Amino acid sequence: MHRRLAFIDTLRGIAVLSVLVQHVFELIVEKHPTGAYYWPIHDVFGYYMNFGRFGVVLFFFVSGFVIPFSFPDSTTPVRDFTISRFFRLYPAYWTSLLVGLVTMQLLESKVYPLGQVAANVTMLQTFVNVPNLWVFYWTLAIELLFYVGCTILFAMGLLNQRFTAVTIVVAAALVGTTAALMIENRTVSSVMEVGLNLSAMFLGKIIRDTVVGSKLRWTHVAVCTLLYAIFAATLSDRRFGGVYHENFFYSYSIGSAYVCAALVFIAFAVFGERMAWRPMAFVGVISYSVYLMSPFVIVAVHRLVWFGNGPLGWSLFLAVILALSILVSWMTYAFVEKPCISFGHRFRSARRKPVVLEPALSTQGAAE
């Protein structure tokens, strides 16, 4: 299970392209006259389904499927896990920061406070109440929280206990749903939203424990998914309201995103590698770079070229952004992300050697 799974990479590809498409059509609706197409497009991407949130939550499920099993069998697994995560996340993130600062200064004449930039370099800006330079960085704070939570559970010997993830998802759903119903406070809703995102991750682990190794049963998946879906629907209604404001965030669309992400992930997990699609899996391999770089590709293309209003122009706009995003992201992956991950392997400790008992001791142990 340490080899790359093509169906997981396919899911990553679907996730990042969903985010990209959402961003493109939000820009089209907000910046250009769409006439009779305005409400149909707006409803698809804002009322019925927020594809950006769908893609992000799908990423969270993938993290839950992968990260808890990423602690190496080495003499210092926590240290090695931390090193691998650092070299996996930070170099590409710093590249995105640099590209973003240059792009926004040249094309939009935007300059950011030095303190905000410095805080964002650490990737810890959310935890010290400093705004993200760009809103899509918000997901990285959730990932870091999950890594810390998994590390603590691993150190306590609880991470791979049979019912740890089940307990977390059930408890989070019950507490979060109750809080959403009884407490009308935006800060509380924001905290509960973090809990919902972490629940998606631990639900991803539950699904893996069911399809790989059969540690859990599908009844566990069904119950946890149902509670998670109720949590998502309730919190979405309280946090984003039942009135459709023209900001692409509506209770129904956000709730649908969380529930549909769970259903899609379960379907892929059930059928496994039969759901893999090579072109989409390739996008999945470079998906972290696509997520980090595509927003600036969108800004650049929109600023420098426009293909006209109407379905044909919008389709060309989307196609160019998609092609350039994949090209730029492949370059970031090939020249930054992949080499840095390989470089990080140099700092990892040796694998733990299996303990071989002497025959006499082995016999004595068996007798006892």
Per residue in 65-106, pLDDT (tens digit) is 999 999 998 899 999 999 999 999 999 999 999 999 999 999
The reported pLDDT for the residue numbered 360 is 38
pTM beyond 0.85: yes
pLDDT at 363: 32
The closest alpha carbon to 5, from 261, 276, 266, 209, belongs to 276
How far is residue 355's CA from residue 50's CA, in Å, rounded to a whole number? 52
* pLDDT tens track for 265-277: 999 999 999 999 9
Q: What is the pLDDT of residue 348?
A: 84
At residue 362, the pLDDT reads 34
Calculate mean pLDDT across residues 47-51.
94
Residue 350 confidence (pLDDT) = 75
8 Å CB contact between 21 and 318: yes
What pLDDT shows up at residue 367? 32
What long-range pairs does 147-153 form, CB within 8 A, spacing at least 24?
147/67, 147/81, 147/85, 149/198, 150/67, 150/68, 150/71, 151/78, 151/81, 151/82, 153/68
Confidence band, pLDDT 50/70/90 cuts, at residue 351: confident
Q: What is the dihedral of CA 284, 287, 290, 292, to 10 degrees?
A: 170
Task: Compute φ and ψ for 75, nearest 5 degrees.
Answer: -70, -25
Provide the CA 291 distance to its chain's centre, in angstroms: 10
Cα separation, 361 vs 368, in Å, equals: 11
Helix-then-strand count for the chain, H and E: 15, 0
**pLDDT higher than 80, residue 365:** no
Q: Are 11 and 60 in contact (CB under 8 A)?
A: no
Contact 263, 11 (CB under 8 A): no
Task: Extract the tokens encoding 307.
Answer: 């293909």
